[in-house]
Amino acid sequence: MKIGITCYPTYGGSGVVATELGKELASRGHDVHFISYALPIRLTMTDHIYFHEVEVLSYPLFEYPPYDLVLATKMAEVMTRFELDILHVHYAIPHSISAYLAKMMLRDRVVPFVTTLHGTDVILVGNDRSYLPITRFGIENSDAVTAVSDYLKQRTIQDFQIEREILVVPNFVDCKVYGRASDRTLRRKFAGDDEPVLIHISNFRPIKRVQDVIGVFTRVRTHGKARLLMVGDGPERPKAEWLARTQGVADDVIFIGKHNDMSQFLAMSDVLLLPSELESFGLVALEAMACEVPVIATHVGGIPEVVRHGIDGFLYEVGDIDSMAEGCLAILKTPNLRETLGKAARERANREFCSSKIVLQYEDLYHRTIEATQRPH
C-alpha cells in the first residue's frame, strides 16, 4: 500500500506512535509518506519512507498563518502525485479537517482517511465549546476512526455525542528495542551501584504534575540513597528545578532534557514515576513495562488498561504522593518484588502491546476502509 501519515512532529505520545507506526509499515514493504511542517523527531529516513514538508508562509493579511489550509493543499498534492491508497491522520484537530478538505479537492479518485484520537485533541482542545462542532465534524466524516484506549473511546462518544463506530487500537512498543539493559555503563554515569534510579519522562506540562514527581522522590530520598532522572522539557521544568532545590534533593535530581531515544534511559532505571492528572493511554508506562521497569502511576484515564495494580506496578489517586512514595520504597527495598513486577510487566507488554501485533490491526483496518470506499453506494 501507499500510505500517507500526518502527525505533530514534536515530542509527545501521538507523534511518537505515528512515527513508529510509519517505520513499522515501511519495514513491511509499504510506501509511507509523512506530511507535516517538520520532520518527526523519531523519524529516520530509510527505504519506503518519504517526507513532505508543509511550508507555511507569512502574509500581512493573516494575523495567524492558515496551517490547516496549507496542510490540506499539501495532502491533496501528495495523494495525487504519489497515488496514495489511504491517509492516516493523528489528532482530530486540525488534521482530520485538513484531510477531509484534501479528499474533497480530488476529482478523479477517492482516497479515504483514518483519524486516530490520542486524547489531547478530544479532552483539551475538543472540549473548548468553540471547537466542539468542528471536532465532531472531523470525527464523523472520517472514513474510519480509532482511539488508543477504551477510556478515550467512551469519553469521545459521551462528550461529542458520536454515533459512528470508533475502533480501539492501543498504542504499542517495539519489544525488540525496549528491554532490560545488562550493560551498566550508562547507568554508572548517573548513579552509583548502590543507588536506585527513578525516572520521569514527559513534556513537563501541568497535566503531568512534575511537582508530585519531586515530592515522591523527596520522600524516597529520606530513606536512603537514590537518583531521579527527569527526561524531557517543557513549561513546568523551572518549577521542578526550584522544588528540587527547596526540598534539598537538587544534587540527586538530574535533568536530562529532550532525547529521541528513551529506551536507553528506561532500560537502566528501577521505577517509573507517572503521577499525571490524566493520561488517555500512558505510552511511557508501556515503554517502561517493556524494559521490566515497574510503574508508579495514577489511577486515571486509560492507565488502568495498561498497568495492572499490584502486577505491573502500583496505581494511586492523583496527588497522593505519600502513598506513591510508599509504593516506590516497597519496590526498591524488596528486590524480589521489583523483579516480579518487572517480569510481569515485560510479559504483558510483549503479549498485548508489541508493535508486530498492533501494526497488523492497522493494516487490516486500512484494507477494510479502502475496500469500503470502493463499493458502490
pLDDT digits over 120-164, tens only? 777 665 556 778 888 999 999 999 999 999 999 999 999 888 989
DSSP 3-state assignment of 196? coil
Q: Between β-strands 113-117 and 2-6, what pairing exists: parallel, antiparallel or unpaired?
A: unpaired
Residues 347 and 203 in one domain: yes
Residue 372 has pLDDT above 60, yes or no: yes
Q: What percent of the chain has pLDDT over 70?
A: 95
Which residues form the domain of 316? 187-352
Residues 243-278: pLDDT tens digits? 999 999 999 999 999 887 889 999 999 999 999 999
- 71 with 214, same domain: the answer is no
Do both 144 and 228 map to the same domain?
no
- 53-87: b (≥16 Cβ within 10 Å) or e: ebebeeeeeeeeeeebebbbbbbbebbbeeebbbb
User: Nearest CA to 287 among 113, 42, 63, 61?
Assistant: 42
Structural domain contains residue 164: yes
Strands in the chain per DSSP E: 2-6, 31-36, 49-53, 86-90, 113-117, 144-147, 167-168, 197-202, 227-232, 253-257, 271-274, 295-298, 313-316
- Whether the CB-CB separation of 272 and 249 falls below 8 Å is answered with no
Do both 113 and 205 map to the same domain? Answer: no
Q: Is residue 366 part of a domain?
A: yes
- Residue-wise pLDDT for 315-362, tens only, equals 999 999 999 999 999 999 999 999 999 999 999 999 999 998 999 999
Residues 359 and 345 in one domain: no
The mean pLDDT value of the chain amounts to 91
In a domain, 181, yes or no: no
pLDDT at 326: 97
Q: Is 185 exposed, middle or buried (0-12, 13-18, 19+ CB in 10 A)?
A: exposed
Please give the distance of CA 222 from its chain centroid, rounded to a whole number.
Answer: 33
Residues 34 and 164 in one domain: yes
pLDDT at 109: 86
Identify the pLDDT of residue 63.
65
pLDDT for residue 262: 85
What average pLDDT score do residues 95-118 get?
Answer: 94
Asked if the structure places residue 259 within a domain, the reply is: yes
Can you say whether the dihedral through the CA atoms of 296, 298, 300, 301 is positive or negative? Answer: negative
Residue among 97, 92, 72, 85 at smallest CA distance from 32? 85
Q: Is the pTM of this model over 0.85?
A: yes
Task: Determine the average pLDDT of the residues in 282-299.
Answer: 96
Structural domain contains residue 180 = no
For cell 523483579, name the residue. 339
Smallest CA-to-CA distance from 286 within 208, 217, 348 is with 348
Adjacent-strand bridge partners of 197? 227
Provide the CATH number for the domain around residue 102.
3.40.50.2000
Lowest mean pLDDT among 53-67, 90-104, 203-217: 53-67
Same domain flag for 133 and 206: no
Distance separating alpha carbons of residues 294 and 345, to the nearest angstrom: 7
Cβ 266 vs Cβ 274: under 8 Å: no
40 is a domain residue:
yes
The verdict on 220 and 143 lying in the same domain is: no
φ, ψ for residue 231, nearest 5 deg: -105, 125
269 and 242 in a single domain? The answer is yes
Residues 6+ positions from 75 with CB-CB distance below 8 Å? 4, 6, 35, 87, 98, 99, 101, 102
| Residue 10: predicted pLDDT | 75
The count of domains in the chain is: 2
Q: Rounded distance, CA 289 to CA 332, Å?
A: 16
Cβ burial 326-357 (10 Å sphere, 16+ → b, else e):
bbbbebbeeeeebeebbebbbebbbeebbbee
Whether 182 is covered by a domain: the verdict is no
Q: Tell me how far apart the alpha carbons of residues 328 and 277 are, in angstroms, rounded to a whole number.
A: 19
Q: Which of 39-48, 133-142, 187-196, 295-304 has the lowest mean pLDDT?
A: 39-48
Indicate if 332 and 368 belong to the same structural domain.
Answer: no
Same-domain pairing of 118 and 167: yes
Cis peptide before 94 (omega within 30 of 0): yes
The answer as to whether 204 is a domain residue is yes
Round to whole Å and give the CA distance between 348 and 285: 12
105 and 211 fall within a common domain: no
Count of helix runs (H) and strand runs (E) in the chain = 13, 13
